[in-house]
Structure 1
Amino acid sequence: MMWNYDKRYPSIDDLRSKAKKRIPKFAFEYLDGGCNEDVNLHRNRSDLQQVELKPQYLSLHKGSDMKTTLFGETYDAPFGIAPVGLQGLMWPNAPEILAKAAFQHNIPFVLSTVTTSSIERIGEITEGKAWFQLYHPTEERLRDDILKRAAAIGNEILVLLCDVPTFGYRPRDIRNGLAMPPKMSVKNILQILGKPNWALQTLIQGQPNFEILKPYMPKNMNLSALGQFMDQTFSGRLNEEKIAPIRDLWKGRIVLKGVASEVDTERAIKLGLDGIIVSNHGGRQLDAGQSTIKPLTEIAKKYGDKITIMMDSGVRSGPDVARTMASGAKFTFMGRSFMYGVAALGKTGGDHTISILKTQLQQIMEQLCCEKVTDLPDHLVDQS
């Protein structure tokens, strides 16, 4: 099966190049960059690309099916849209564009606490099928109210973020005034003037805001006060004592995102969580850490029958999805790939990106003579 997409941009790299030309430099660098010297950002890609798959050409092949069952839901492909903060900064209305595309293609969309659309709006677009990622508040009252809102729209899968105990040190964002508190400089204004389409769409849609947090924020807050509010309102450091009451409160599934070690995997199992996403925040938090594919391989071997194991960070393409699934993941997520698509193509970017990823993965599976995504591990080249 083939999916329709804009033939001018047949790869994620094409979308990245187009996005770089279309949006202000500060917005592109926020999306594209890692932390410190970008070592782990690049390691995510290079290590994943070392994974090799072997075809079985003389097998009796009846066709390839990408459908994947996860937490009782059958999705049309084994990948979803990862949570990304400040999506509306990269392209106006980006969360709604991506949520709509995910719903139409029957893949999961994960909404971040600090993105630019509300829980209620995304719930309406996805008919309650979106996942919600909680960035842990310092106050129980705020935590409970956000969880109540997520449950009210029919959300069944809660993602707890554990890999942001501190804000990553990101030199680009500091230079561009996107650290906390944010600061708009003359340089940024000139960059905006150089991207009139982005500026016009932003004017039409309105300045991006933390829509989920709006009910809890003082009105007419300036940028300096916003930084103080964020610092006082959220504590990214999770531990077993913070997770246990959430497990008691939340009636649906809970997934821990940001796991990078066997120790934290064991703790997630002990806490009765339903899944983990092996992740290093896209290389944006710990430059001295491992790439995600390295711990994923070991974690999947030891704990694959005890908890649902997924992965993000470094996954950019259909071949990457196949590599990750062959290495033991039950599902994959991508953030930058989809944001490049929306930044490049606007309202059609979500549909386009999902379509090329489905096409790429379908071709890989057909080439391998792999009928189901659960068979991908049978095609992994042993590199031990």
Structure 2
Amino acid sequence: MNGNDSLLKYNPQYPSISDLKRKAKQRMPKFAFDYLEGGCNDEVNLSRNETDFHKITLMPHYLRKLKGMDMSVDLFGHRYAAPIGISPIGLQGLMWPNAPEILAKAALRQNIPYILSTVSTSSIERIAEVSEGQAWFQLYHPTENSLRDDILRRLDAVQCPVLVVLVDVPSFGLRYREIKSGLSMPPRMTINNFLQAAIRPTWGIETLRVGIPEFATLKPYMSKDLNLSQLGKFMNSTFTGRVDMDKIAAIRDIWKGKLVIKGVVNEEDAEKVTAIGADGIIVSNHGGRQIDAGESTIKPLKGLVDKFGDKLKVMIDSGLRSGPDIGRALACGADFTFMGRPFMYGVGALGKKGGDHTIAILKLQLKQVMEQLGCETLEDFKECLIQE
């Protein structure tokens, strides 16, 4: 027996997120993998997100006595097994068939949160069913308040525990990989894309089995004869626009559950959402997919925690790829961490087993970091941060 046995029940051929990424690239059509991987413009901030995490160093305390370790965490009235959440990702079912349900089910089994995106490929109602009401929801704020109100009504009907309002997409990012592949707005399936799909038979067979992906949550609001060339116009007219404080305040008045604002990266915005009674923020730059000239997410985190950590939950997304990265974020004061791409690597590599396997990797890595540092609880990470 050894310390890695908890991982062996999944698939020891893929012990790291990097291994899953390599396998996923072999199984996903190029246009789908490029959509997952791409950042905006020259992808500088995409790279910066990861490299700035790697600059953070932690101090081990080897001579401490450890009575045991507990990586569970209380968040919004629920005790999660680990500070690991699955970020919302649009078009999940395009990248791997039925990915939203695979990940929502894995999150339920492993007792971590899964966030469904407005523009994902499973509906609010279906994900609420397979997650037994545990899934969170990320709202792309519609231009029409009537559509907003109906989505909130549907969320209330399934008793969604946490509403996440996205604020960092005032316009769709300029992502060159998507433009080349045809997955920008409006999307188009080119002959090259069909050829890419043809050489990925598992993806193709699974897509035929579960059906062509569509914006399932938004389907009730779309014309039945809407085609791909019209979809871009629908998305631009329905969701493009800035989410200002008036819109957030209106949601706070309507929504009685927990409210989180995603995309807050500065103290001015954090002050505003705190004032209207938000329960938390997710420090995020949309995975480097919206602004290339911006900061990495880990840079402003500690300052936001220091100033607002006693007023709301401060969480982080974008750039995390491993258990050590989770530890780095916790050492900087984060209450919780979310990841998107690593979970899609897992599903792309291993299909239905990919969600559980990715969670197992991250839990094992986080446990090993806690053992090395001498942390009994997640709070102990803060004592290990080496200040630059």
**TM-score normalized by the length of structure 2:** 0.97
Q: How far off is 1:236 after superposition? A: 4.4
Matching residue of 1:189: 194
Match of 2:125 among 120, 126, 151: 120
Q: How far off is 1:366 after superposition? A: 1.1
Match of 2:23 among 15, 18, 43: 18
Q: Which runs of 4 or more aligned residues in structure 1 lie more than 2 Å from their structure 2 counterparts after TM superposition?
A: 1-5
- Do the aligned partners of 1:101 and 1:350 also contact (CA within 8 Å) in 2? yes
Matching residue of 2:292: 287
Question: Partner letter of residue 183 of structure 1?
Answer: R
CA distance in 1, matches of 2:256, 2:307: 27
Question: Partner letter of residue 180 of structure 1?
Answer: M
Matching residue of 1:41: 46
- Do the aligned partners of 1:296 and 1:329 also contact (CA within 8 Å) in 2? yes
CA distance in 2, matches of 1:27, 1:222: 20
1:86 and 2:91 matched: yes
Matching residue of 1:75: 80
- 2:153 is paired with a residue whose SS is helix
Q: How far off is 1:5 after superposition? A: 2.5
- 2:311 is paired with a residue whose SS is coil
Q: How far off is 1:220 after superposition? A: 2.6
CA distance in 2, matches of 1:23, 1:79: 25
Matching residue of 1:218: 223
Matching residue of 1:379: 384
Matching residue of 1:133: 138
- 1:154 is paired with a residue whose SS is coil
Matching residue of 1:255: 260
CA distance in 1, matches of 2:241, 2:116: 17
Greater mean alpha carbon deviation, residues 276-285 or residues 182-191: 182-191
Q: How far off is 1:303 after superposition? A: 1.6
1:264 and 2:269 matched: yes
Question: Partner letter of residue 318 of structure 1?
Answer: G
Count of aligned residue pairs for this structure pair:
383
Q: How far off is 1:382 after superposition? A: 1.2
Matching residue of 2:205: 200
- 1:259 is paired with a residue whose SS is coil
Match of 1:146 among 143, 151, 156: 151
Match of 2:169 among 135, 160, 164: 164
- 2:263 is paired with a residue whose SS is strand
In structure 2, relative to structure 1, the CA distance for the partners of 1:95 and 1:138 (3 Å cut) is same
Q: Percent identity?
A: 61
CA distance in 2, matches of 1:266, 1:62: 39
CA distance in 2, matches of 1:356, 1:152: 35
Structure 2 stretches of 5 or more lacking a match? none
RMSD: 0.9
**Deviations 1:159-191 (CA, angstroms, capped at 9, x unpaired):** 000000011110000011111111111111111
Question: Partner letter of residue 90 of structure 2?
Answer: G
- 1:21 is paired with a residue whose SS is helix
Structure 1 stretches of 5 or more lacking a match? none
- 1:184 is paired with a residue whose SS is coil
Q: How far off is 1:47 after superposition? A: 0.4
Q: How far off is 1:284 after superposition? A: 0.3
- 2:217 is paired with a residue whose SS is helix
Question: Partner letter of residue 234 of structure 1?
Answer: F
1:365 and 2:367 matched: no
1:50 and 2:55 matched: yes
**Deviations 1:103-128 (CA, angstroms, capped at 9, x unpaired):** 00000000000000011111011111
Question: Partner letter of residue 100 of structure 2?
Answer: P
Matching residue of 2:178: 173
- Do the aligned partners of 1:39 and 1:287 also contact (CA within 8 Å) in 2? yes
Q: How far off is 1:90 after superposition? A: 0.7
Matching residue of 1:355: 360
In structure 2, relative to structure 1, the CA distance for the partners of 1:236 and 1:18 (3 Å cut) is farther
1:241 and 2:249 matched: no
Question: Partner letter of residue 291 of structure 1?
Answer: S
